Amino acid sequence: MVRTASRNVGKYTSTHKSRKRNIHRPRPTRTIVTRSQCLTVGCFFHRLPSEVYHMILDKMSVLEISIFSMVSKEITRSVVEYISTLAWKNKTIIQSFHHSTCPEQRSTIGHYRDLGLLFKRSTLLQPTKERLKFIFSEFSQVPCFRLEQCLKPDCVGFLSYGVFLQTLIAGWDELECHRVFNFVCDLTNLLQKIEIVVTGKPGVWYQKLQLRLFCRQVLLDPWSNQMDTQFWLMQLLKPWPLVSQAHLLLTLYGPLLPESTLGWQDLVERGLPHSALWDLARAFLLLFSKLEVKGQNNNSLVAIFKELIYLPQPWHVENVARLLVLCGSSLCYTVLASKAVNGRLLEISRLIVYIILVCEKDGYHMSWAVKMVQNLCKVFSTPPERFGFIQQLENMFSDVTREFFEFSVTGNQPEDRETFQSLCILLDSSARFHTKFLHMILK
């Protein structure tokens, strides 16, 4: 029994000593090396000769390089060095933008969208001024990106430039976008070129067309967000007086003829379809909504509208009426009410008759025109003034009907047949308007 006990004690003591030795055994230490530390102490890419490293980057797409550039600061720096090389520029920055097929055009535009992402990501850590200087130094010498350097109708240079710029600065705050606008103006002499156009000097039709294409395709149209388009349009208009703003709006958004020339004379000579005036109406809606958001006075916008409809000469009344209808109730009422307040009953009555004609031609509900007239009646403070307004409107229906009839019977030209058709539509619209007007009054 004693031996057995001593054996057990020996076992326990031996086991206890073994455990004690395990507790005090030193453990190997682990060192965690971050990716950036790995680069500084001898990363795989860092150890490669620059020629081999560039050969690896040559095998990657533009989009893949843009993602790779975000790995670390060291990688970002090396990518910036790579895209600064002449070999990369010659290979990647496409110089030809004159493609005959749509797939080729889409491919070029998509390539510049990827380039926008690459330059956005690889210059992320640089100050805005330095970013812009580096980025635009890469593209400023591309001929199709410069005003008045390429007049070929199938060129997609401005479209590609616009997609690149929009991708590059998407998400930037307003202050940074101001810097971008100023930088682009300095780089392209944009404000000086606008001044030449809006002063109306003869012989500058190609400059007007180039200015329109550059501003629309580079600065205005690429944005899907209405607020972004508002910002760039306001930047373009802000430096100029109201008359020049009207001229610039017509240059940027006025009707274009099929041969890509500005159709300003058509605004004076004949009524145009709503498709020819829709872009102009959209610009006014952008500006009007901007004023409503900021709570500003809309007198300046009304003044711009009044200047616009006299460029290059007084417009055909149907075009003025159609533009007002396309601009919507708020702006239409504002323009007509300003004329009513100033006692211009003859002018406002003629406009309303043509608005009613446009509603009938373009398929708008006649109740829209009736409500507009009802609201305008409230502008007049006394019953005699309201009666005088309605009487003038009824007399104008007769005058315009007589004008259409006299014009239609003078000959048998195609435009005469068109006038006779307008006469028939006017008679129908008059009957529809008065039916709806009386119905709403007698309710």
Write the pLDDT tens digit of every residue in 73-108: 989 999 999 999 989 998 898 878 988 788 989 999
Q: What is the pLDDT of residues 243-280, one digit of tens each?
A: 999 999 999 999 988 777 888 889 999 999 999 999 99
Whether 14 shows a pLDDT value over 70: the answer reads no
Q: Read off the pLDDT band of 375 (50, 70, 90).
A: very high
179 has a pLDDT exceeding 50: yes
More confident residue, 239 or 41: 239
Q: 135-149, 175-189, 229-243, 291-305 — which is least confidently predicted?
A: 291-305
More confident site: 25 or 359: 359
Per residue in 60-76, pLDDT tens?
999 999 999 999 898 99
- Amino acid of residue 6: S
pLDDT for residue 372 is more than 80: yes
